[in-house]
């Protein structure tokens, strides 16, 4: 069996312009690589009426338990203005010890590192006692409706058991080895519409300005102290992201006012408990101002924490040995597909340094890429000891 080189594979993956939800042939390409390593594979394509069809891949090597799963995404964000790049973002290039290209950091190189690690592990451990699987999506950077969420539902129906999952997102702020994610805050958006009565600014008694209620509501929302944080999570935070009154005249009191906000919440709360708290404020203020409100919530994911176990500490120790840094167990940052996987398996996240993700000239250090592949290899060796 041929050993797969992580750098070569990373370059090959970057060449596919797989901007969400476009597949561009990348799943079939990876599927062929995995079949050569002995994996049984299935490309899972999902579609909902309002959203584009997305291809995903689930592959498994072996039939025995335990099943160690690696999860990641092959879709990337748009390159943006091509003239700002020093290279074509989909023609990877090496400069100053770094591989540059869209997806080099987030997260095609991490997938390449894991596949390379598997090729080395299987070559030397043909009869290992267990299974290795990969759950790869093409819908992580987008709406995340037809991606990992649907794959998890499929695996549940098939009664496919995953014993532990490692998600390869770029988790390190500055140096490889700094941080493992063992959970994430929940994320919820609110779109608020306040309805008043339109009228002439000179006759305010004949109108009801919705901005009065909106300003009071937003002040009260910002004043909420949800919690002080916990041992594992920072405090819950609400940020107002949009305020909008579509009024084209200065002598008209508007009839409608809008605002959007996002809440990142820890596991002290659920999205439902936060909704109840917010709805009380909306009702109170709108009753006082004699205005009406409508609130639309969208929940990206609930807060979750994977309680550290022996596998967590094993991975932490391996990272420390390879990088000479003891990684912090953290729940900071945004959301990831771990929010879906944690429903069927304990999981943690560890990948590359995330400084250049989504940026122009996105890049990964060649040294880090080699070290990450070594870490993933040692994790497999220790997990299946």
DSSP 3: P
The helix or strand, by DSSP H or E, that contains position 154, with its residue range, turns out to be helix 148-157
Please name every residue paired with 305 in a beta bridge, in sequence order, or none if there are none. Answer: 183
The answer to whether the beta carbons of residues 180 and 168 sit under 8 Å apart is: no
What is the SS3 assignment for 316-371? HHHHHHHHCCCCEEECCCCCCCHHHHCCCCCEEECCCECCCCCCCCCEEEHHHHHH
Spot the catalytic one: 6, 75, 141, 368.
75
Between CA 25 and CA 16 the distance in angstroms is 7
75 annotated active-site: yes
Spatial distance between the Cα atoms of 331 and 33, rounded to a whole number of angstroms: 33
- Pairwise CA distance, residues 70 & 130, whole Å: 14
Please state, in angstroms and rounded to a whole number, the distance separating the CA atoms of residues 148 and 293.
35
Structure tokens belonging to residue 95: 């400069």
Give every CB contact of residue 126 below 8 A, 6+ residues apart in sequence.
none
- Out of 106, 140, 160, 349, which one is annotated catalytic? 140
Beta-strand relationship, 40-48 and 51-61: antiparallel
The torsion angles phi and psi of 46, rounded to 5 degrees, stand at: -125, 150
Q: 39 in helix, strand or coil?
A: coil
Q: Measure the CA–CA gap between 177 and 268, rounded to whole angstroms.
A: 29
Rg, the chain, Cα only? 24
The catalytic residues are: 75, 140
């Amino acid at each position: 069996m041929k050993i797969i080189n992580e750098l070569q594979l990373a370059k090959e993956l970057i060449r596919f312009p797989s901007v969400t939800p476009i597949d561009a042939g990348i799943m079939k390409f990876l599927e062929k690589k995995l079949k050569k390593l002995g994996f049984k594979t299935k490309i899972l394509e999902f579609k909902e009426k309002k959203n584009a069809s997305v291809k995903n891949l689930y592959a498994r090597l072996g039939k025995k338990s335990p099943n160690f799963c690696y999860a990641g995404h092959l879709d990337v964000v748009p390159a943006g203005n091509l003239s700002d790049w020093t290279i074509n973002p989909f023609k990877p290039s090496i400069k100053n010890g770094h591989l540059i290209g869209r997806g080099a950091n987030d997260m095609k190189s991490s997938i390449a590192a894991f596949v390379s690690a598997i090729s080395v592990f299987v070559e030397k451990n043909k009869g290992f006692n267990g299974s290795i699987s990969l759950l790869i999506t093409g819908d992580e950077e987008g709406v995340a409706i037809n991606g990992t969420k649907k794959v998890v539902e499929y695996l549940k129906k098939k009664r496919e058991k995953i014993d532990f999952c490692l998600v390869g997102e770029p988790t390190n702020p500055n140096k490889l080895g700094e941080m493992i994610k063992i959970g994430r805050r929940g994320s919820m958006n609110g779109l608020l519409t306040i309805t008043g009565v339109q009228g002439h600014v000179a006759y305010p008694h004949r109108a009801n300005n919705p901005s009065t209620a909106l300003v009071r509501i937003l002040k009260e929302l910002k004043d909420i102290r949800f919690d002080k944080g916990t041992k594992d999570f920072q405090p819950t935070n609400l940020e107002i992201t949009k305020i909008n009154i579509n009024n084209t005249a200065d002598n008209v009191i508007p009839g409608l006012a809008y605002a959007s906000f996002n809440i990142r919440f820890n596991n002290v709360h659920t999205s439902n408990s936060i909704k109840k708290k917010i709805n009380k404020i909306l009702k109170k203020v709108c009753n006082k101002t004699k205005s009406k409100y409508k609130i639309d919530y969208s929940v990206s994911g609930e807060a979750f924490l994977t309680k550290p176990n022996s596998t967590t500490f094993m991975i932490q120790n391996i990272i420390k040995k390879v990088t000479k840094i003891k990684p912090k167990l953290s729940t900071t940052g945004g959301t990831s597909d771990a929010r879906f996987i944690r429903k069927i398996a304990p999981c943690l996240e560890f990948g590359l340094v995330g400084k250049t993700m989504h940026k122009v000239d996105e890049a990964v250090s060649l040294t880090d890429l080699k070290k990450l592949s070594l870490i993933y290899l040692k994790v497999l060796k220790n997990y299946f000891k």
